[in-house]
Amino acid sequence: MELLYDALDLLIEKLKTWLNELILILPNLLIAIIVFLIIVQISKAVKHFVEKGIHKVSRNKVISGLLSGMIQFIVIMIGGFFALEILQLSKVVTSLLAGAGILGLALGIAFQDFIGNIISGIYLAIKKPLHVGDFVETNDHYGKVTHMDLRNTVIETTSGQVVFIPNKVVFDTPLVNFSKKKVRRVNLSIGVSYSDDLEKAQSVALEAVKSLDVCLKDKETTLVYDEFGDSSINFTIRFWVKFNRQFDYRSARSEAVMAIKKAFDTEGITIPFPIRTLDMDPKLIKSLKK
């Protein structure tokens, strides 16, 4: 029983000590709570201000929510450190800062690719080198951008495949945006016979393409002869069309091919077949005849 009484006395003394310390620290505790609550309210105002600022640059709600939330969290953390300082818990503050630094370093190493994709996604959303609906070519993939988030850019290729490309890869590699200017140049290669009048062929081909409704009249249509081919003299005709989707480009090429073929047939200009000459051993020919 005596041991039990001694234990109770020790517990009571301990509780008295704690109570005295609580009474001594109570004013600072109240001040710390008030300071922390004020900083929480300030963080909400800062979050709202940041959201409005980001909204002027980008209307992406995911990005504005993420950045404003991160800034609000940082402000609240600062408020927590202030409150601990008011309570004269500087050693706790130092330990928390050291722990946060080590934890941040570990997380940064572990999730560097993930973080890189998020940062790249934020940059793409703010700078807007591409939008949903654009036709782009990047990392050997060509197609329509169907979705963008903080981690991936999603492209649907012209053959129907869906490609998920990490934003960091899109950010680090060249990107061709065919929809940026809403126009695209069509390059069409054709050959004419060596016996044809080249100036006439040039004039007929240019007139055929310029007469198309899809050919933009405010941009130059050009034709240049490229080379002496095996069975034809080859040229490239270039013209511009409006571009909103891949079909606009493909359809314009198709119309140009048909128009040039029809014009050449009318004017008697020949688009020759490839010609191949085969040399055979006379002894082999005699053996085949037998």
The mean predicted confidence, pLDDT, of the chain is 80
Residue ranges of the chain that CATH labels 2.30.30.60 = 129-177
User: Residue 10: pLDDT band by 50, 70, 90 thresholds?
Assistant: low
User: Residue 87: pLDDT band by 50, 70, 90 thresholds?
Assistant: low
Residue ranges of the chain that CATH labels 3.30.70.100 = 183-267
pTM above 0.85, yes or no: no
Q: In CATH, what number does 183-267 get?
A: 3.30.70.100
3-class DSSP string for the chain? CHHHHHHHHHHHHHHHHHHHHHHHHHHHHHHHHHHHHHHHHHHHHHHHHHHHHHHHHCCCHHHHHHHHHHHHHHHHHHHHHHHHHHCCCHHHHHHHHHHHHHHHHHHHHHCHHHHHHHHHHHHHHHHCCCCCCCEEEECCEEEEEEEECCCEEEEEECCCCEEEEEHHHHHHCCEEECCCCCEEEEEEEEEECCCCCHHHHHHHHHHHHHCCCCCCCCCCCEEEEEEECCCCEEEEEEEEEECCCHHHHHHHHHHHHHHHHHHHHHHCCCCCCCCCCCCCCHHHHHHHHC
Q: Which residue has the higher pLDDT, 183 or 52?
A: 183
State whether CATH 2.30.30.60 applies to domain 129-177.
Answer: yes
> What's the pLDDT tens digit per position in 126-169?
778 888 889 999 888 999 999 887 788 899 998 889 999 998 88
Looking at CATH, the fold of the domain delimited by 2-110 is given as: Helix Hairpins (1.10.287)
Residue ranges of the chain that CATH labels 1.10.287 = 2-110
